[in-house]
Chain A
Amino acid sequence: MKKSLNVFAKKFSDLISPALLATILVAIISGVLLFVPPINGYADNGDFYRAMLSNGIYRLPSKHPWAIDYVITKFGIFQYFNEYGTIAFSSQSIFIRIAVMINKLFYSSKVFDIRFLGLLYYFLYLGSIYLLTKSVVYPYKKLRSYAVSLIIVLIFADSSFTLYFNSFFAEPVMYIFMIYAFASIMLLAKGCYKKNWPMMLLFFISTIIIITDKSQNAPLTLSFILISFGMMFLPHFNARRFAVGVGMVVLIFTGVFTYVAINKEFNDVNQYKAFTHGVLMETNDPSKNIAKLGIDEQFALLREENYYPKTYTAVRATNKSVQKNLLAKNGIGWTVKYYAHNPKQAGALLDLATKDIMITQVKAVGDFTRGSGHKPGEQVKYFTLYSDYMGSFFPGKFAFICLLTVALILTYGVAMYNDLKKKRPMGVMRFFLVLGLLTIILFVPIISIVGDGDADLAKHLFIIPVCLNFIFILFISDILHHRLWNTEAREEFLDHAK
């Protein structure tokens, strides 16, 4: 009996590796969500126009003026010259354009179906899941490896993430390519493939796509450079260390480019929000505090005002007083100084930022199409176990994140110390990977608060749960495979190291 079970297990593992198992399960789970009618996705929160108009897509006329309640599947494709040009540069455009091209080939040259974009993301995503699973379980095919692959399915196929695919949000690009970036580093660290350069290339391309996806991703450059620094420790690699250096330089340029490409209006919007929704929040009366640091106390009255006012406002952000006496003064330097002087307020804001960090489902918009029999703005409950659980139980305190960071750095630091001594790359690369991810987790809330205030926090913090999930799965897999501190000598690596 036991023998036949073993034989079955052997055959099964020969036929279906953990990575393949995860990919198949994810394909089925998210395929049902995205493509089996009535389909699901995220409705327009008012941000879609940027991605749409830049790529020659427009909303078809409809008797329902509000797009926030239901997912719209059909859009129009501009037939003539697109006068809008590029509203904001984004790597997301590449994917939308490819989707439009496929749409034109197979469906229609006038109507764009969002599912073509979803499909494109879907295939890219399946590839990333395969690599991710492989990267954390390699070289094992034990039962525990299959357990890890099931956990990956639970975490990474959560509907709160995959719903993004059927939408014009820029998040899917970030999500998919973060998985690629993570997987490529882990595969390199484990020496999964004979040649290193394909994974290196994958890493750099993925990170460049992530950085250029959204202007607010520019600061992530620093974290990615930190992660790529680990590659310097790959053995037998003197000649290619240069290549890593070049990659890092390219990354820096991409980050700078993305930062510079932010136009003045965008900058003003962010600066205004950082003030009205940041500096002025979580305090009784900010009048005196801002006056102390040289900004007219009257601007305290702008608390909770928006750059593009929702209904009515006493003063527009384009007003001369605001431009001259506020926006000319309250740059990032000023904001940092302000929070340094008011640490309690900064702490309260950071707690606010981390409070709902693991609630990944966009609650403001509906997930169903009109006519699917669901209420306006109704949320999908299908395969959201992980995000529901994390959303309710993850401690929403910035201090907790700091403690977690310290603990993880210590844990993975030990492995790095061991591997450095033994000249093994894995512990070192993994340390830098974790360190890089932790800097994202730690600094993105700070950057968001300083750069944007509490406006749109949930959207700015999207990358944090993704990074936390990477660390969770890495940690679980390392524990299960007993590789947390002892990365285990691997013959092929040792040979090269000599």
Chain B
Amino acid sequence: MQNKIFRLLFVSFALLFFVSFSNPEPVQATDTDDYVMLVYDSKNTTAGSEKQIDALQRALTSMNLRVKTVDQADYKSGMLTKKYFGVISMVNWKQMGFTNKKFLKDRNNFSGIKLHIGNDLSGYEASELGAKSVDLYQQQLILENKKSNQMLPFSETITVLDNLSKESQMIGTLRTQQADQKTYGYGVINGKYGYLPYFSSKGLSYLTAVEMIAKLFSKQGSYQPILTVTGVTPVSDLKILDQVSQFCYKNSIPFAVSTTSVSNNTGMKAFARFVSELRNVENRGGVVFIKSPEVGGAGVGSANELRQDLTSYVVSLAKYQVYPIGISTDGFWNQDKILRKNFLMNANHWLLLPNGKVTYIDQDNNSQIAHTSFLGISASSLNSVNKSYETRFSTPTAIYIPLPHSNKELVDFKEQINKLDFSWFNPMEVKMSTAINTGTSTVSFRDGNYFVNGKQENIGTADSSSVFSEKIKEKPLLSNYFNIQGSILTILFVIVTIVLIIFILMGRRIYWNRFNKRK
């Protein structure tokens, strides 16, 4: 008996020890429960609707779902295999809809999770959802979710679900403005089936859609948002960045900075000033994400260069005690084989921002996942959303504000942050373990401490002005000699020229006479 108790105690201690001291490794999900196929009807670039595909892809990545995105025109029979955990059909252009019958057939036969976004809901899909589809015409609806509401833009037609079955769940509601004020579900989930009448990459619609999708794929969590300052570059106005970090520090707001860096010219004073400002960020409770560079005319052969660039960014920053905890990037980087493999995959924490200028190198539309991917949502798009200290998000979320460019913008910036009354995610206090591997070195962040190749590093206090008091190299010994030599030569040349002119003037007559004689 005693032996038994002793054994039980030992096992429970061992378990406790294991749980508390083991370092949670990035959870690489098993094969099938994280693959999702996203099929869309059209990019509809004239209406800028490719942004919605990007927003959806990023949201899915933040839920740790690997997404294969397919244009319906490229869909071939049998592509939707059992490997996929779910399928999303997205109507991005009302006038287009799904015309690929092979896809429609495969989707109907598919046994996993199915989500339909946008109009053009087939009768079969409505029956799967256990509801009746109703078309609303010429309406301006109000979306409501958790005490927040948002007036939607006027829509000519919108297909909503009515007569929902009892098992169905509604995430967010759409209310008409007519006298009877009918209410329909925005996100509707019925078992494995889900429906969203429209998708928008902004505001309450986006948040609600993300919440609904996370729930449908059983990926819903509860996350505090991380405040992120984007658009920082080595040539940004560093005084403003300084004021921003000071403001956050004084108001006890933890924050992240997403900044690009340079791989050349890191020996310049300007670079020292840039990193000293980032060190200030770290000392004021901020963390740094390395932003992926802008893609110019790079080709497939640039993979090596990209890898070297990342190494150079990380090494040159670490040299000045700036330790990035992850990579921030435009969504399309995750859809590109070269960009993803040679840059993103080196970090296990990503921050996914909407696309700026899109330049693919080798687009494959097979997005991958990291340990944690923060979904970037702009602060300005949350104006209509009810924000409170208790607000939580369904996926890891970064609420971003671009770095101001002037003092006037700085005032607006501060005001905007004050209005965002969230309880912010603090990487320093939460158990968080990140790493960036660059082949030669690993920069990691654990429980508020920074490590380079496993060795803990401290961040020295840095005053940006001190960088400039560095002594300038003394003049080389012989510089005076060369200066004097230069002046002597100049004087010599002037004298020679003057003599030459005199000679010419004097010799002119003699020369003349020679010709006269010959004549």
Contacts and interface: CB of A to CB of B under 8 A. Distances in A.
Interface of A: 285-288, 296-304, 306, 308-316, 319-322, 324-326, 403, 406, 410, 414, 485-486
Given A298-B273, A486-B515, A321 B298 contact: no
Interface string B281-320: 0000000000001111110001001100100000000000
A285 B266 CA distance: 10
Nearest to B259: A314
Contacts of B270: 285, 287, 297-301
A300 B262 contact: no
B448 interface: no
Contacts of B262: 301, 314
B260 A315 contact: yes
Nearest to A407: B500
Interface stretch (B147-155, B156-164, B232-240): B232-240
Nearest to B515: A486
B501 A410 contact: yes
Contacts of A303: 264-265, 268
Nearest to B403: A321
A204 to B, nearest CB: 34
B267 interface: yes
B261 interface: yes
A304 B238 CA distance: 22
* Nearest 8 CB-CB pairings of A with B: A309-B296, A311-B298, A312-B293, A314-B260, A287-B269, A315-B233, A287-B270, A300-B270
Nearest to A300: B270
A301 B274 contact: yes
A321 B294 contact: no
Contacts of A310: 296-298
A455 to B, nearest CB: 15
Contacts of B264: 303-304
A296 B237 contact: yes
A299 B265 contact: no
Contacts of B273: 287, 297-298
A246 B191 CA distance: 86
B238 A298 contact: yes
Interface in B234-278: 234-238, 260-262, 264-265, 267-271, 273-274
B357 A301 contact: no
A285 B302 CA distance: 28
A322 B236 CA distance: 8
B235 A311 contact: no
Contacts of B309: 312
Contact of A314 (B234, B269, B508): B234
B235 A406 contact: no
A311 B302 contact: yes
A407 B225 CA distance: 74
Contacts of B357: 316
B497 interface: yes
Given A296-B237, A314-B261, A321-B233, A285 B269 contact: yes
A216 to B, nearest CB: 23
A364 to B, nearest CB: 16
A313 B268 contact: no
Given A311-B298, A320-B405, A301 B237 contact: no
Contacts of A304: 264-265
Contacts of A324: 405
B296 A306 contact: yes
Nearest to A304: B264
Contact of B296 (A296, A300, A311, A320): A311
Contacts of A298: 234-236, 238, 270, 273-274
A17 to B, nearest CB: 26
B511 interface: yes
Contacts of A486: 512, 515
A321 B293 contact: no
22 contacts: A285-B269, A296-B237, A298-B235, A298-B236, A298-B273, A300-B269, A300-B270, A301-B234, A309-B294, A310-B297, A312-B294, A312-B296, A312-B302, A314-B234, A314-B262, A322-B235, A406-B497, A410-B504, A414-B504, A414-B508, A486-B512, A486-B515
Contacts of A301: 234-235, 262, 265, 268, 270-271, 274
A16 to B, nearest CB: 30
A94 B269 CA distance: 51
Nearest to B295: A312
Given A301-B262, A319-B233, A287 B268 contact: yes
Given A301-B270, A311-B297, A312-B302, 5 more contacts: A285-B270, A296-B235, A301-B265, A303-B264, A312-B296
Contact of A312 (B234, B267, B298): B298
A297 B234 CA distance: 10
Contact of B268 (A285, A309, A312, A410): A285
A448 to B, nearest CB: 23
Interface string B424-453: 000000000000000000000000000000
A362 B293 CA distance: 32
B233 A314 contact: yes
Nearest to A319: B233
Interface in B205-250: 233-238
A252 B296 CA distance: 39
Contacts of A309: 294-297
Contact of A285 (B267, B294, B295, B305): B267
Nearest to A307: B296
A301 B270 CA distance: 7
Interface in B478-519: 493, 497, 500-501, 504, 508, 511-512, 515
Contacts of B305: 311-312
B236 to A, nearest CB: 5
A406 to B, nearest CB: 7
A325 B296 contact: no
Contacts of B504: 410, 414
B235 A308 contact: no
Contacts of A315: 233-235, 260, 294
Q: Which of the listed residues B233, B238, B260, B305 has the most CB atoms from chain A within 10 Å of its own CB?
A: B233
A410 B273 CA distance: 53
A294 to B, nearest CB: 14
B232 to A, nearest CB: 10
B13 to A, nearest CB: 52
Contacts of B238: 298
Contacts of B501: 410
Nearest to A311: B298
Contacts of B297: 308-311
A297 B468 CA distance: 12
Nearest to A324: B405
Nearest to A406: B497
Given A311-B305, A312-B306, A315-B260, A302 B235 contact: yes
A312 B274 CA distance: 20
A304 B266 CA distance: 13
Nearest to B297: A310
Q: Which of the listed residues B236, B298, B405, B511 has the most CB atoms from chain A within 10 Å of its own CB?
A: B236
A297 B269 contact: yes
Contacts of B293: 312-314
A325 B512 CA distance: 63
Contacts of A321: 233, 235-237, 405
A123 B188 CA distance: 77
Contacts of B261: 314
Nearest to A286: B268
Nearest to A326: B235
A320 B296 CA distance: 17
Nearest to B293: A312
A316 B359 CA distance: 13
Q: Which of the listed residues B237, B294, B357 has the most CB atoms from chain A within 10 Å of its own CB?
A: B294
A300 to B, nearest CB: 4
B265 A300 contact: yes
A354 B296 CA distance: 31
A143 B511 CA distance: 25
Contacts of A322: 235
B467 to A, nearest CB: 10
